[in-house]
Structure 1
């Protein structure tokens, strides 16, 4: 009998963090699963780490050349046998009831509901001051944006950065739909998760398990120039949707300019950062502390 869920974990040079990810999958209360780990040509001892587990639910595949996370996920999709597919980054951790609650949520609804996500909490590997953590959670935009459910009407919030789903580690989707949309677009090395989810939403509805069932480990940000290049590709891919949304008064371009402003300010590239900020959507009051922290990080980067 095929498993209920195929869990797909792409990994690259993360032998140090992969064990906590693997163990969080093997400890799920929904035991009827297969864990497909795709090593995207790592140069570390990833293969030995995987081989150390004595669990026949684990399947391991290795790319001979590095192809990127989207290609690694597609290799997992190609080999998956489950009714559902779930995706998890190789430095993140699921809480034990994550899959059970998501599958139950979809099984109790009509066939229109084809995917589910859950809430997430960011973990700082070196720890975080409890007061700062409390304040960050209090003002976080995620308090406002996480938890939305629906179909095509969620494409606007996703494109305008008003809905955050952490889809790369929270999403559970029917295997039928994942294959129907031909998996992940391998031309994306950033924004691949929301790009995939937008295409999922064109085939059905997304549910939310309104609990924190994912711990996301903070691993730093990619270079601002890399994000800017990927952002252009992302918005061009959905140019028709962006144009339609902006005719409705939703400032998608301004939202993405704000994302890029924060990236550049965080690196201390103030001239570029403020140029994007002037063209961005006006930040909400709750976003101001995060913007200030980006400025502070940028000053430190320049001093260092």
Structure 2
């Protein structure tokens, strides 16, 4: 693959072949957006899984977020005209990288894939088939995830977590799905599962570049304010666990996420759904899982401790924290 560079004037450089960025003339059905930063060794796995989709009418936009490794050479060595390379001059974060991809995309839909993850071959086909059977209110779809790379303790923790946090909340729809997502009754990994109408994403303003966590959930909430998302109950995306952000990062990002969606939060609180308390419990979990019991206590109050389901969660997270303190892995 050959490439030429063009400055965009916003701190990024786009290297591309074929159609000009954002062209809608005879565009593909799907633009796959893969943000990446210093992952030249594992990036090919993600790109290959996109190119191996049974839906061939795609373009794959690899957005290099200021890497200092061999990412550009890796992408340019791929002999497939559907692949385009875009690059930032400096590292600006995953939200900015995805936004660069959205701006350059020419597909009817955009689909996001993190560079350390991969898709099963029928991922896009299954999602498009579901959307093609729905009316225009349905603007996108997501799917289930399979996880790899977890330690034995991590796999046990995931199984226990699934039991403790399982919910009967709706998995698809509009406002009802937004409420379930914001109150943490539904979990999704939009960064590698979401397929959504490109015009809808553009109309919502794309990803909040001030968020490094919850940025994908925040986008989903705005998408759900204008349309519905369908759910494909199959693990068609595979995540490879490479670690988690520190608890402090969750604190700041959680605050911004709730502030950005304050209207919906306040409405749910008025109806008796304790969104802010649910999010505080999530922060408690992050601190406990790191073995930081004193920091976790700062987010707890008596009403949270006395709820039976919360007691089970606190016990579970505390076991994870004790394992970390004993020298184990999460």
TM-score (norm 2): 0.84
Secondary structure at 1:243 match in 2: helix
Residues 145, 187 of structure 1: alpha-carbon distance in 2 compared, 3 angstrom cutoff: farther
Name the counterpart of 2:288: 265
Distance in 2, matches of 1:90 and 1:158, equals 24
Q: How much does 1:220 deviate?
A: 1.2
Q: How much does 1:123 deviate?
A: 1.1
Q: How much does 1:105 deviate?
A: 0.7
Q: Which runs of 5+ in 2 are unaligned?
A: 1-25
Name the counterpart of 1:21: 46
Name the counterpart of 1:237: 260
Query: What is the Cα-based RMSD across aligned positions, in Å?
Result: 2.4
Name the counterpart of 2:156: 132
* Pair 1:52 & 2:107 matched: no
Secondary structure at 2:299 match in 1: helix
TM-score (norm 1): 0.91
Distance in 2, matches of 1:134 and 1:233, equals 27
Q: How much does 1:285 deviate?
A: 7.6
Give the paired residue count.
300
Deviates more, 1:198-207 or 1:221-230: 221-230
Secondary structure at 1:122 match in 2: strand
Distance in 2, matches of 1:233 and 1:137, equals 26
Secondary structure at 1:42 match in 2: coil
Distance in 1, matches of 2:217 and 2:125, equals 23
Residues 104, 245 of structure 1: alpha-carbon distance in 2 compared, 3 angstrom cutoff: same
Q: Which runs of 5+ in 1 are unaligned?
A: none
Name the counterpart of 1:294: 320
Distance in 2, matches of 1:227 and 1:129, equals 22
Could you list the structure 1 runs, at least 4 aligned residues long, displaced by more than 3 angstroms after superposition. 127-138, 143-147, 277-290
Q: How does 1:1-304 map to 2 (within 5 A)?
A: 1-124=26-149, 128=152, 132=156, 135-136=159-160, 139=163, 141=165, 144=167, 148-278=171-301, 280=304, 282=307, 283=309, 287=313, 290-300=316-326
CA contact (8 A) 2:170 2:177 kept: no
Distance in 2, matches of 1:46 and 1:63, equals 12
Bigger Rg over Cα: 2
Q: Could you list the per-position Cα deviations for residues 128-177 of structure 1 after superposition, in whole angstroms to 9, with x for gaps in the alignment?
A: 47983894486263x54687111012221111111111111100000110
CA contact (8 A) 1:119 1:147 kept: no
Secondary structure at 2:140 match in 1: strand
CA contact (8 A) 2:66 2:91 kept: yes
CA contact (8 A) 1:92 1:215 kept: yes
